[in-house]
Homo-oligomer: A and B are copies of this chain.
Amino acid sequence: MKNPTPPLTGFLLERTSKLMKRQAQRRLKEIGAGVTVDQWVLLQELAHEDGLSQYELAERTVKDAPTVTRIIDLLCEKKLLERRTDKQDRRRFKIFLTPAGRRKYEQVYPVIRSFRESAFEGLSANDKKQLTQLMNRIQENLKT
Protein backbone atom coordinates (compact mmCIF):
# COMPACT_ATOMS: atom_id res chain seq x y z
CA MET A 1 0.00 0.00 0.00
CA LYS A 2 2.64 2.45 1.15
CA ASN A 3 5.34 3.00 -1.45
CA PRO A 4 8.74 3.41 0.19
CA THR A 5 9.84 6.07 -2.28
CA PRO A 6 7.09 7.90 -4.10
CA PRO A 7 7.82 8.31 -7.84
CA LEU A 8 8.47 12.02 -7.70
CA THR A 9 10.22 12.18 -11.01
CA GLY A 10 7.64 14.63 -12.25
CA PHE A 11 7.79 16.74 -9.16
CA LEU A 12 11.56 16.60 -8.88
CA LEU A 13 12.21 19.68 -10.94
CA GLU A 14 9.46 21.72 -9.37
CA ARG A 15 10.59 20.80 -5.89
CA THR A 16 14.14 21.91 -6.58
CA SER A 17 13.06 25.04 -8.36
CA LYS A 18 10.72 26.01 -5.55
CA LEU A 19 13.41 25.52 -2.96
CA MET A 20 15.77 27.70 -5.00
CA LYS A 21 13.22 30.45 -5.39
CA ARG A 22 12.31 30.37 -1.71
CA GLN A 23 15.93 30.67 -0.65
CA ALA A 24 16.67 33.39 -3.19
CA GLN A 25 13.66 35.32 -1.95
CA ARG A 26 14.94 35.15 1.62
CA ARG A 27 18.36 36.29 0.53
CA LEU A 28 16.82 39.31 -1.20
CA LYS A 29 14.83 40.09 1.89
CA GLU A 30 17.90 39.83 4.14
CA ILE A 31 19.75 42.47 2.18
CA GLY A 32 16.65 44.66 2.00
CA ALA A 33 16.65 44.54 -1.78
CA GLY A 34 13.12 45.89 -1.92
CA VAL A 35 12.25 43.71 -4.89
CA THR A 36 10.95 40.16 -5.15
CA VAL A 37 12.62 37.41 -7.13
CA ASP A 38 10.07 37.77 -9.92
CA GLN A 39 10.59 41.49 -10.07
CA TRP A 40 14.32 40.96 -10.17
CA VAL A 41 14.01 38.57 -13.09
CA LEU A 42 12.48 41.38 -15.12
CA LEU A 43 15.19 43.81 -14.07
CA GLN A 44 17.79 41.27 -15.15
CA GLU A 45 16.18 40.71 -18.51
CA LEU A 46 16.07 44.44 -19.16
CA ALA A 47 19.62 44.93 -17.93
CA HIS A 48 20.65 42.60 -20.73
CA GLU A 49 18.40 44.21 -23.31
CA ASP A 50 16.52 47.42 -22.77
CA GLY A 51 13.40 48.55 -24.58
CA LEU A 52 11.61 45.22 -24.82
CA SER A 53 7.84 45.13 -25.13
CA GLN A 54 5.77 43.55 -22.38
CA TYR A 55 4.98 40.68 -24.69
CA GLU A 56 8.66 39.99 -25.27
CA LEU A 57 9.32 40.17 -21.55
CA ALA A 58 6.54 37.70 -20.89
CA GLU A 59 8.00 35.26 -23.40
CA ARG A 60 11.49 35.49 -22.04
CA THR A 61 10.52 35.15 -18.41
CA VAL A 62 7.84 32.48 -18.93
CA LYS A 63 5.24 34.72 -17.39
CA ASP A 64 1.84 35.56 -18.80
CA ALA A 65 0.83 38.99 -19.98
CA PRO A 66 -1.31 40.00 -16.98
CA THR A 67 1.47 39.04 -14.59
CA VAL A 68 3.99 41.09 -16.52
CA THR A 69 1.63 44.05 -16.55
CA ARG A 70 1.34 43.98 -12.77
CA ILE A 71 5.02 43.43 -12.05
CA ILE A 72 5.86 46.35 -14.33
CA ASP A 73 3.24 48.44 -12.55
CA LEU A 74 4.99 47.74 -9.26
CA LEU A 75 8.45 48.41 -10.66
CA CYS A 76 7.29 51.67 -12.23
CA GLU A 77 5.84 52.77 -8.89
CA LYS A 78 9.24 52.09 -7.39
CA LYS A 79 10.77 54.23 -10.15
CA LEU A 80 12.97 51.34 -11.29
CA LEU A 81 11.37 51.06 -14.73
CA GLU A 82 9.55 53.29 -17.15
CA ARG A 83 7.08 52.64 -19.95
CA ARG A 84 7.53 54.51 -23.21
CA THR A 85 4.97 54.13 -25.95
CA ASP A 86 6.29 52.67 -29.16
CA LYS A 87 6.01 55.25 -31.95
CA GLN A 88 5.82 52.54 -34.62
CA ASP A 89 3.11 50.52 -32.90
CA ARG A 90 0.91 52.37 -30.51
CA ARG A 91 -0.41 49.18 -28.93
CA ARG A 92 2.99 48.51 -27.44
CA PHE A 93 5.13 49.92 -24.72
CA LYS A 94 8.87 49.75 -24.67
CA ILE A 95 10.15 49.15 -21.18
CA PHE A 96 13.35 50.76 -19.94
CA LEU A 97 15.37 50.64 -16.76
CA THR A 98 15.64 53.99 -15.05
CA PRO A 99 19.07 54.93 -13.70
CA ALA A 100 17.81 53.82 -10.28
CA GLY A 101 16.70 50.56 -11.85
CA ARG A 102 20.13 49.93 -13.25
CA ARG A 103 21.72 50.73 -9.92
CA LYS A 104 19.34 48.29 -8.26
CA TYR A 105 20.35 45.63 -10.74
CA GLU A 106 24.06 46.27 -10.15
CA GLN A 107 23.48 46.16 -6.40
CA VAL A 108 21.48 42.96 -6.32
CA TYR A 109 23.31 40.99 -8.99
CA PRO A 110 26.31 39.97 -6.83
CA VAL A 111 23.96 38.59 -4.21
CA ILE A 112 22.07 36.49 -6.73
CA ARG A 113 25.31 35.41 -8.29
CA SER A 114 26.74 34.19 -5.01
CA PHE A 115 23.45 32.48 -4.22
CA ARG A 116 23.62 30.59 -7.49
CA GLU A 117 27.17 29.56 -6.82
CA SER A 118 26.22 28.13 -3.46
CA ALA A 119 23.26 26.31 -4.99
CA PHE A 120 25.43 24.78 -7.70
CA GLU A 121 28.36 24.07 -5.42
CA GLY A 122 30.06 20.78 -6.08
CA LEU A 123 28.78 20.55 -9.66
CA SER A 124 31.56 20.15 -12.18
CA ALA A 125 31.63 22.10 -15.42
CA ASN A 126 30.47 18.94 -17.08
CA ASP A 127 27.58 18.57 -14.64
CA LYS A 128 26.45 22.09 -15.45
CA LYS A 129 26.72 21.45 -19.14
CA GLN A 130 24.66 18.30 -18.77
CA LEU A 131 22.10 20.08 -16.64
CA THR A 132 21.72 22.75 -19.29
CA GLN A 133 21.35 20.15 -22.02
CA LEU A 134 18.78 18.20 -20.05
CA MET A 135 16.73 21.31 -19.33
CA ASN A 136 16.88 22.34 -22.96
CA ARG A 137 15.80 18.92 -24.08
CA ILE A 138 12.82 18.95 -21.73
CA GLN A 139 11.87 22.42 -22.90
CA GLU A 140 12.02 21.23 -26.48
CA ASN A 141 9.81 18.28 -25.66
CA LEU A 142 7.25 20.59 -24.10
CA LYS A 143 7.04 22.83 -27.14
CA THR A 144 5.79 20.12 -29.44
A65 close to B (CB within 8 Å): no
Interface size class of A (residues with CB under 8 A): 35 or more
Interface residues of A (CB under 8 A from B): 2-3, 6, 9-24, 41, 44-45, 48-49, 62, 112, 115-116, 118-123, 127-128, 130-132, 134-135, 137-139, 141-142
Chain A residues touching B, majority SS: helix
Top 10 closest pairs, chain A to chain B, by CB: A17-B17, A10-B116, A6-B48, A16-B135, A13-B17, A18-B62, A14-B17, A19-B142, A3-B48, A12-B135
CA distance A43 to B49 in the complex (A): 42
Asked if residues A9 and B118 are in contact (CB atoms below 8 Å), the reply is no
